[in-house]
């Protein structure tokens, strides 16, 4: 797809930037007028200087025009920088909002690195677009129009030559721009791939070191970095070639005007002041187009990132069915959907979840009674986590539906439903904040007494006592400073604090040693007591005290009765 110099979606998605863009346009019109005024005053000053006189009015006009033009250039820089900051902040907020709408499954795999690169380095590249290219794009429209109008009044034949040669610059720029766009897209894809792989490698560095694979991954990152460097150099070569071509076309065009003007001036067919005015204004007509062409190549990475950010942040979650979907398809916002009751019966009715290359769940029909504890077992990658994600509303069924107390989750208020659920994933994310703040994610408004009770229930009180600042101890990102078992108990404390009627646990004892597993198991049994609970289990210890065991394999769910000992280890 051809990259447009300006994406109209920007005005719709970031309305706060409209005022700055309008102001930038007005400054471009003012700058064009000042270019004409400066050239007119300078031509009059030079023409009178040849007669031995000093035109004080022309000199004063020139000084005022130069000072005003410098002020306008400064204002353009300030306004464009503010617009860039506004757009970057809005797009980063929209990207985070898209992650919240789509759920964790949407950012899994390569997209996580793509989003990280886009929200960081990608959107920062918009600075070159807003502060460099966009002001020149405005000037490339306003200045040539103003210059042509003034020269036409002074010497119409020179204006005709300029009007015929001006289109050559955008034509050559577009021809080279198509090649530059393809090269920039390749460069961005390699950068996204490099960022995603590097993010995954850093996250799994302890595992890589444990299995002696760190050096192999270092070599892989080096190869990707070399590929990105090669793509960047190809893009720069095209940009330098484009600058050379535009300079050559502009120089020849100016010469086509200057030579006839000089001949006519020598023959006495043109006044000195008029000739000076034409010669001073002609380069100004081509200058904004040349500068815009050069700045366009410098800003193409930002344009690519802008297009991708607008596309990703505006993408809709997987389609749903029902009344909510009907309202959305008609463009009607409507009120929030019905609020499911977590103490009611949960039903999966012929649920199928199909992805592009695989089917995660096939025609699953399941009834979960209130207060029932169900263990889910089966080999890795067969759809166990997908079952939980469907219940959380992170994944919409391709076919069938999920109801809670008769309320279809496709029509329900998902935020209200998720407040009825406590979810403990395989790897609960801990943020670079205090331990208390990390636990309060389960219930931000919880009282200190409720927080203390949740800590005791999760067997986390000894860990808190051992920390230097207790609950106010600041953790590193991903819970750096705590062991795997301690991080899992923090996740359980969140669930206790939430005190939700439905509990979902996705392999809570994975990667834990015996002592940590015993502590987590004890807290888990207390957590699920009296609640509707689904436990994804790989270890037999989680199968005790459950009401039913479901086996998921090849996307199909079957019930096992009686519970087979050791079957969860498959």
Alpha-carbon gap, residue 396 to 26, rounded angstroms? 48
* DSSP element (H, E) containing 352: strand 346-354
Please report the pLDDT score of residue 319 as a whole number. 43
Question: Could you write out the DSSP letters of every residue in 200-219?
Answer: HHHHTHHHHHHTT-HHHHHH
Please report the pLDDT score of residue 186 as a whole number. 65
* DSSP element (H, E) containing 253: helix 214-266
Q: Which of 256, 258, 261, 250 is nearest to 285 (CA)?
A: 250
Q: Kindly list the domain boundaries of the chain, sorted by start residue.
A: 9-314, 346-569
User: Do residues 287 and 367 lie in contact, with contact meaning Cβ atoms separated by under 8 Å?
Assistant: no
Architecture of domain 9-314: Up-down Bundle (1.20)
Whole-number Cα distances in Å, 27 to 24, 74, 291, 535: 5, 10, 17, 63
User: Do residues 540 and 549 lie in contact, with contact meaning Cβ atoms separated by under 8 Å?
Assistant: no
Counting Cα atoms < 13 Å in the Cβ hemisphere of 363 gives 0
Please report the pLDDT score of residue 23 as a whole number. 92
399-404 and 407-408 as β-strands: parallel, antiparallel, unpaired?
Answer: antiparallel
Q: Which of 158, 360, 153 is nearest to 253 (CA)?
A: 158
Query: To which residue do tokens 């069924």 refer?
Result: 397
Architecture of domain 346-569: 3-Layer(aba) Sandwich (3.40)
**Residue 247, token pair as written in the block:** 């300079």
* DSSP element (H, E) containing 349: strand 346-354
Q: Is 124 left (phi over 0), alpha (psi -120 to 50) or beta?
A: alpha
Please report the pLDDT score of residue 512 as a whole number. 64
At residue 303, φ and ψ (nearest 5 deg) are: -65, -40
| Residues in the chain where the model's pLDDT stays below 50 | 1-2, 318-335, 562-570
**Residue 349, token pair as written in the block:** 């009715």
Alpha-carbon gap, residue 480 to 439, rounded angstroms? 15
**Residue 379, token pair as written in the block:** 């080999």
Please report the pLDDT score of residue 533 as a whole number. 85
421-424 and 502-506 as β-strands: parallel, antiparallel, unpaired?
Answer: parallel
User: Do residues 139 and 285 lie in contact, with contact meaning Cβ atoms separated by under 8 Å?
Assistant: no
Whole-number Cα distances in Å, 107 to 54, 98, 267: 71, 10, 74
User: pLDDT for 131-158, tens place per residue?
Assistant: 888 888 888 889 999 988 888 888 888 8
User: pLDDT for 391-428, tens place per residue?
Assistant: 888 888 888 888 888 888 888 888 888 888 888 887 77
- What is the pTM assigned to this prediction? 0.61
CB atoms within 10 A of CB 112: 18
Residues in a beta bridge with 375? 535, 549
Alpha-carbon gap, residue 447 to 454, rounded angstroms? 11
């Amino acid at each position: 797809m051809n990259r447009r110099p300006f994406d109209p979606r920007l005005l719709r998605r970031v309305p706060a930037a409209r005022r700055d863009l309008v102001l930038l346009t007005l400054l471009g019109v003012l700058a064009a007028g000042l270019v004409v005024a400066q050239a007119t005053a300078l031509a009059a000053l030079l023409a009178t200087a040849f007669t031995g006189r000093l035109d004080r009015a022309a000199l004063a006009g020139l000084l005022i025009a130069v000072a005003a033009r410098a002020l306008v250039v400064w204002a353009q820089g300030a306004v464009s920088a503010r617009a860039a900051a506004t757009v970057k902040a809005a797009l980063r907020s929209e990207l985070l909002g898209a992650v919240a709408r789509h759920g964790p499954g949407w950012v899994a795999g390569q997209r996580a690195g793509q989003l990280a690169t886009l929200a960081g380095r990608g959107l920062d590249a918009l600075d070159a677009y807003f502060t460099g290219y966009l002001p020149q794009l405005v000037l490339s429209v306003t200045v040539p129009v103003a210059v042509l109008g003034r020269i036409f009044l002074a010497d119409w034949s020179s204006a005709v030559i300029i009007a015929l040669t001006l289109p050559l610059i955008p034509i050559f720029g577009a021809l080279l721009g198509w090649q530059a766009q393809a090269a920039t897209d390749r460069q961005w894809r390699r950068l996204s791939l490099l960022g995603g792989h590097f993010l995954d490698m850093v996250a799994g560095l302890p595992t890589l070191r444990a299995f002696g694979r760190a050096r192999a991954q270092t070599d892989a990152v080096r190869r990707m970095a070399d590929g990105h460097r090669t793509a960047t150099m190809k893009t720069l070569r095209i940009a330098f070639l484009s600058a050379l071509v535009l300079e050559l076309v502009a120089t020849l065009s100016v010469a086509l005007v200057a030579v006839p003007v000089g001949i006519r001036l020598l023959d006495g067919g043109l006044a000195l002041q008029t000739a000076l005015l034409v010669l001073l204004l002609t380069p100004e007509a081509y200058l904004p187009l040349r500068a815009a062409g050069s700045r366009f190549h410098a800003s193409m990475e930002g344009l690519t990132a802008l297009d991708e950010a607008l596309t990703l942040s505006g993408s809709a979650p997987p389609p749903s069915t029902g009344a909510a979907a009907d309202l959305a398809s008609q463009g009607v916002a409507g009120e929030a959907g019905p609020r499911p009751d977590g103490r009611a019966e949960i039903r999966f009715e012929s649920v199928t979840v199909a992805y592009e290359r695989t089917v995660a769940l096939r025609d699953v029909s399941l009834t979960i009674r209130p207060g029932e504890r169900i263990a889910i077992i089966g080999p890795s990658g067969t759809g166990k986590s997908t079952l939980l994600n469907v219940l959380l509303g992170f994944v919409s069924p391709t076919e069938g539906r999920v109801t809670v107390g008769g309320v279809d989750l496709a029509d329900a208020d998902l935020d209200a439903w998720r407040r009825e659920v406590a979810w403990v994933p395989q790897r609960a994310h801990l943020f670079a904040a205090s331990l208390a703040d990390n636990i309060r994610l389960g219930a931000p408004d919880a009282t200190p007494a409720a927080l203390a009770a949740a800590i005791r229930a999760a067997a986390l009180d000894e860990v808190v006592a051992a920390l230097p600042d207790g609950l106010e101890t600041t953790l590193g990102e991903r819970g750096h400073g705590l062991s795997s078992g301690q991080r899992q108990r923090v996740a359980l404390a969140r669930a206790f604090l939430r005190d939700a009627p439905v509990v979902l646990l996705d392999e809570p004892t994975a990667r834990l040693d015996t002592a940590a597993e015993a502590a987590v198991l004890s807290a888990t049994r207390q957590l699920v007591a009296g609640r509707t609970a689904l436990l994804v289990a790989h270890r037999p210890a989680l199968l005790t005290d459950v009401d039913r065991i479901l086996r998921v394999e090849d996307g199909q769910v079957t019930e096992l009765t009686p519970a087979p000992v050791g079957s969860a280890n498959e």
